[in-house]
A and B are shown apart, each in its own frame.
Chain A
Amino acid sequence: MAEIIDGGGGGGGKHQKKKAKKGNVHLDMTPMVDLAFLLLTFFILATSLSKPKTMEIIYPKEVEDTDETTKVDDALATTVLVGEEDEHVFYYTGVFKPDSTVLIHTDYSKEGIRKVLLDRNKRINDQVTALKEQLTNKIINDTTYQVAYSKIVGDSLAPFVIVKTIPTSKFRNVVNVMDELNITNIKKRAIIDMGDSENIAMRQRIVELGLKK
């Protein structure tokens, strides 16, 4: 494939010394380029460029039962009930009373559970926003920010959320709730099994609202 194009030094005169030919070597690189791009395409396709993303969840050491969690100020508690179907999501605030607590139906959209949680956590989030502003204006440094941030979100008066599941709750929906908690900056949370009384109340509510069973 390689061709040597004579530089035109062939017809030299008698007096010229014999020179080694300084020919230009032209290589046809097309096949090599083909191969290179073939390999390139293969590796691009074969490489998993983006590693999967993960969400960190820390579980408590002991299984917390409801009695224990309610020892903290009840008014700060929000309980999210996650049912079997995607639209089975309810919440209530404070302590559950089988006769009087009304389960409020919501959904996993931006206007649903996120809004509820944002409202609950407004005081904390306002503080965090103010703190972030200080950081961007370089009033405080990064370490101070981290310390202050942990202090704000871990405040004893910060709202906390209990996520209650039934055995057939879908993993997707549990992740959805945890994700909303991350977005709304609620660090105090727990995932526990739903009690019977709440489960009954939830089933009743599903029937009342005419949701898919």
Chain B
Amino acid sequence: MPKVKMPKSAPSLDMTPMVDLGFLLVTFFILTAKFRPNEPVIVDTPKSTSSIALPEKVMLVTIDKDGRVFFDLSGKEIKRAMLQGMLERYPQVKVSEDVAQRFAVLGTFGQPIERMEQYIKGDEKLRKAMDDRKDAGIPLDSLNNQLGDWIQEGYEAFMTDAQAKGFTIAQLKDKEGLRYAIKADGDTDYEKVEKVIDIFRDKNIFQFNMVTSLEGIDDAPAVVEE
């Protein structure tokens, strides 16, 4: 019997469908990707069963476990306008135009206004060092309530921007409005959170989204044996 001759050439695989799929996925991920914004502090949020997603248009106040307060607002143009408002409020602080542009792409920040210029100008290493300082965080005591000013300016910048975009007051009161989120560490003293909430309440803001991580409804938190 004649031997069955095996073809000597290397088997070739048609990779076209795989490549198609690969690029489809790449395109999808490129288009949907939103880079994780700079987070100056690590905050271990408490767990809850709530599944409401963090709103798109949001003013986010982050409180770390030492009670330092950080601030962020969505929208580059709005952030830029907010800084402008703050600079008018604090005329002793000077920030040049190109530095102000860089502020808009910076993520969450938490520095007293006096140190903001240095913070924005600095490179990543300097910013990290400044964030690690014990006295970082936005001041919020009654004599120097910078957080209140940021909230006020942020709100005004948001409203100006929204009205320029043609949203009506009714829309802004409903779905299109600015939402307020508080992201606090589970170990933060409630007193510190309350202080931030009280500042919001002074501005007639009463509804908050507390950032939590999801847990199942039956997942009981760990109970310490007595």
Query: Which of B103-111, B138-146, B204-212 faces chain A?
Result: B204-212
CB distance from B216 to the nearest CB of A (A): 11
Q: Are A40 and B220 in contact (CB under 8 A)?
A: no
Query: Which of B85-93, B153-161, B181-189 faces chain A?
Result: B181-189
Q: Are B210 and A175 in contact (CB under 8 A)?
A: yes
Interface: B96 (CB within 8 A):
no
Interface: B1 (CB within 8 A):
no
Q: How many residues of A contact B (CB 8 A)?
A: 55
Contact with A along B24-65 (1 / 0, CB 8 A): 011001101111100000000111111111110000000100
Contact with B along A19-60 (1 / 0, CB 8 A): 000000010011011001101100110111001111111111
Of chain A, the residue at the smallest CB distance from B206 is A59
Q: Are B223 and A107 in contact (CB under 8 A)?
A: yes
- Known contacts A48-B36, A108-B221; is-contact A168 B189 (Cβ 8 Å): yes
Of chain A, the residue at the smallest CB distance from B63 is A171
Question: 7 A-B contacts, Cβ less than 8 Å apart?
Answer: A26-B12, A36-B26, A43-B30, A57-B208, A59-B197, A175-B212, A210-B226
Chain B residues with CB under 8 Å of chain A are 12, 15-16, 18-19, 22-23, 25-26, 29-30, 32-36, 45-55, 63, 181, 183-194, 197, 201, 206-214, 217-218, 220-224, 226
Chain A residues with CB under 8 Å of chain B are 26, 29-30, 32-33, 36-37, 39-40, 43-44, 46-48, 51-61, 82, 86-87, 107-112, 165-176, 178-179, 182-183, 193, 209-212
